[in-house]
Amino acid sequence: MPGMRSGLNLDNPVLAAAFRSALLHQGFAALLIFAVLALAWAAIREWRLGGAGGNLGSPARGLVVAGREPAWRMVLRVGFGIIWIFDGLLQAQPAMVVGLPSRVIQPTAAASPPWVRQLVNWAGTSWSYHPVQSATAAVWIQVGIGCWLLAARRGQWSRLAGLVSLGWGLVVWVFGESFGGIFAPGLTWLFGAPGAAGFYCVAGALIALPQRYWRAPWLGRGVLAALGLFFTGMAVLQAWPGRGFWQGRLHDRPGTLTGMIQSMSHTPQPGFLAGWVRGFGSFTAAHGFAVNLFAVVALALIGTTLLISAARPAVPTGHRQLLLVRLAVIGAVLLCLADWVLVEDFGIFGGLGTDPNSMIPMALVLVAGYLAVVPAAVRAPAAKTAGAMTAADAVPGPQVPVTAGTSGEPQLEAAEPDTAEPDTAEPDTAEPAPPAGWSRAWRGRLSPRRLAGAFGAADARTVAAIWALGVTIIGAFPLAAAAASRSADPIIAQAIAGSAATLNFQAPPFRLTDQYGRPVSLAGLHGKVVLLTFLDPVCTSDCPLIAQEFREADQVLGGNARNVALVAIVANPLYRAVAYTRAFDRQEHLTGLPNWHYLTGTLPQLQRVWHAYGITAQLTPGGGMIGHNDVAYVIDASGRTRTELDFNPGPGTTSTKSSFAVELSDAAERAMRQS
């Protein structure tokens, strides 16, 4: 995947400093938003209290909603809120700037089919073109979504948080996890299939459900049925012969599972944990069949139990009926935790962990499914015994209307004490019909007075949710802007070759011969900005890249390119004939570029120019190429040297070439303004 690599070291100090600076900058922006929101909220409340005799008015649609949130939803919302924040903090590792495409995305996609790799490559390339913006965006988007989920308990703000979580989860699942590897061979539950972000999406979708479905009896059963189907499928896949899971060792090599565990044990991590993982790896190597048999049986048992429980006509009401599903969920969670520790190695050690892997999210969805399927009537005694029930739990309220014909369990829903919110509290249905016309209604809703009133009437959690939305936007907006740009950030070039040096002196003159045999002099280019470099026409590495960067700079300059001359002077004392400059031009597709001049001359002529511009061109024995400086000068229209750029092109990836081109074109445009 050519676009993925930036070729930079993970700990590149320039990028690390820029990343830190961007994080701080956007962090201040987040704090500022918080301060402005808090002040505005307090001020409006003060003003409304003072001006309206203490009446804050009715809460706006979606800002304040009555009714308790069911336990399953709270588990998902809080659990995934914390995970998103944790993921955001993991994204703040300095190595993520360079490493995410090459160390995370690319290896994940390597085994996937070409169409997946192509799709993923697009995202990886986009990241490597704008590494600092992308890395910063990932931090703030994920922290923002996490805070938003934690802050917004109910109503449209909360549902919207679920939707955003679903959307960003999809982005991560598709581009970051290559669809969780489901199209790659070797798919297995043990290694985290179908990807952590897949569960983020499931959780986001469940959180985004309208409130009227919160206690729908099919919901929990549906979740458990889906999980049962998933576990059963994974058991079949795990048992499938010929995939290397039944053998601890295969032809004197580690089996598939043993190899995975052993590789995890070699990652940097606390000693005790490495010991556990190594021990389990040795055990698997010795008893591969037994380990896989256990995994297959456990997955199959959990899957079938969940399927059977979900397929029952009614939700189990008694403890005996409940026991089966409870055991299945407990077993599944324990299996998830064991896999998380012994196989996934907590998902964050060694290299660039972006999330705690799939087992914790999977366990959260399992628990949420269990809580959704088990009626509060059954849970309540235990909760009360533990003293966990609050006064609000006991508040009786109207029943949630459940159509007996569709659910078949109206009495169960009626028995729930925490169905406190009346149907009228549902924001989707509570809003009266707009008086006249859709647009007029929305104009009314969005009027400053109405918005201010709603904002003032909102509770602190809603204000926090609005702030979290702001944090998410802080991340998303620069990311979208960066993705829309076709040119790479010049900071990549600076990270490779350092910053440009500002100069101001008369450029040494030269008069040489171009690739068509015509004389060209610096004086003859007066009135144009000259981008000057020195290239060896038979160079195998840097010079072709520099030429491509010059050509790309010409494209970036667009209409301004007509005021710019791209000049290269031969930097090889032997291979300096016009035949070679022409061959080089053909090689680099420069023959059609009207402002491209590749100049050569006699050796004394060239040596004079090299000396004047500080160029050394040395022969290397033993089949090496000419050693010469990689440098570019920007000479303004009046013939003064304005900028010197170290033009060592680095690895020559698409992103580095684009970055150097942007840096060069920026310098040319500065010189135009200075002329």
Partner 1 sequence: MSSRSRLASRAAIAVAAIVIAGCGNRPAASGQHLAATSAARPSLATVVGGAGGASWAIAELGGSSASHDNFWELFVRPAGAARWKLDTPPGVADNGGLVAADPGGRSLVTGFRPSQGLTFSPLAVTADDGASWSPGTPVSPGLANVPDALAAGPGGRLIALSLGGRAQLGTRPGAAWRTLTSEQALAAAPAGKACGLTGLTAAAFAADGSPLLAGACSHPGIAGIFALRGGSWQPTGPALPAAQAGRSVTVLGLATAGSRTTALLVAGTGPATSILAAWSTDGGSRWSLSPQYRAAAAALSVSFGTGGSAAIVLTGDHGVALAGPGNSWRPLPALPAGTAALAVGPAGRLDALAASGRRFSDWRLGPGSTAWSQAQVIHVAIPYGSSG
Amino acid identity at 232: T
Element (H, E) at 582: helix 578-587
Beta carbon of residue 127, minimum distance to partner 1 (angstroms, whole number) = 25
Residues 320-379 that bind partner 1 (CB under 8 A): none
Residue 580 in the binding site for partner 1 (CB under 8 A):
yes
Q: Integer distance in angstroms from the first to the last C-alpha of the chain?
A: 42
Residues 107-126 that bind partner 1 (CB under 8 A): 111
3-state secondary structure of 489: coil
Beta carbon of residue 107, minimum distance to partner 1 (angstroms, whole number) = 13
Kindly report the number of other CB atoms within 10 A of residue 48's CB atom: 19
Residue 539 in the binding site for partner 1 (CB under 8 A):
yes
DSSP letter, residue 281:
H
Residue 448 in the binding site for partner 1 (CB under 8 A):
no
Residue 156 in the binding site for partner 1 (CB under 8 A):
no
Beta carbon of residue 591, minimum distance to partner 1 (angstroms, whole number) = 12
| Helix pair angle (155-171, 71-91), 10° resolution | 50
Beta carbon of residue 623, minimum distance to partner 1 (angstroms, whole number) = 4
Binder of partner 1 out of 12, 108, 232, 305 (CB under 8 A): 232
Write the binding mask 6 to 45 for partner 1: x where contact by CB under 8 A, - elsewhere: ----------------------------------------
Beta carbon of residue 184, minimum distance to partner 1 (angstroms, whole number) = 7
Residue 623 in the binding site for partner 1 (CB under 8 A):
yes
Handedness of CA 533, 539, 544, 546 (dihedral sign): negative
Kindly report the number of other CB atoms within 10 A of residue 103's CB atom: 17
Amino acid identity at 545: L
Element (H, E) at 566: strand 564-570
The CA-CA-CA angle for residues 574, 576, 577, to 5°, reads 120
Residue 579 in the binding site for partner 1 (CB under 8 A):
yes
Instruction: Enter the tokens of residue 42.
Output: 């307090």
CA–CA dist 428, 436 (Å, integer): 19
Nearer to partner 1, 50 or 242 (CB): 242
Residue 383 in the binding site for partner 1 (CB under 8 A):
no
Buried b (16+ CB within 10 A) or exposed e, 196-217: bbbbbbbbbbbbbeebeebbbb
Beta carbon of residue 228, minimum distance to partner 1 (angstroms, whole number) = 8
Residues 292-331 that bind partner 1 (CB under 8 A): 303, 307, 311, 313
Residues 590-609 that bind partner 1 (CB under 8 A): none
Answer for the pair 152, 161: CB distance below 8 angstroms, yes or no: yes
For 511, phi and psi rounded to 5 degrees?
-145, 110
Stretch of residues binding partner 1 (CB under 8 A), selected from 203-211, 276-284, 538-546, 597-605: 538-546
Residue 626 in the binding site for partner 1 (CB under 8 A):
yes
Nearer to partner 1, 224 or 471 (CB): 224
> Which of these, 332, 335, 305, lies nearest to 321 by C-alpha position?
305
3-state secondary structure of 254: strand
Beta carbon of residue 195, minimum distance to partner 1 (angstroms, whole number) = 12
For 102, phi and psi rounded to 5 degrees?
-85, -30
Radius of gyration of the chain measured on its C-alpha atoms:
32
Nearer to partner 1, 267 or 304 (CB): 304
Residue 434 in the binding site for partner 1 (CB under 8 A):
no
Stretch of residues binding partner 1 (CB under 8 A), selected from 7-15, 55-63, 367-375, 566-574: 566-574
- Contact residues toward partner 1 (CB under 8 A) are 111, 181-187, 193, 225, 228-230, 232-237, 240, 242-244, 250-251, 253, 256, 303, 307, 311, 313, 538-541, 543-545, 572-575, 577, 579-580, 583, 586-587, 619-627, 652
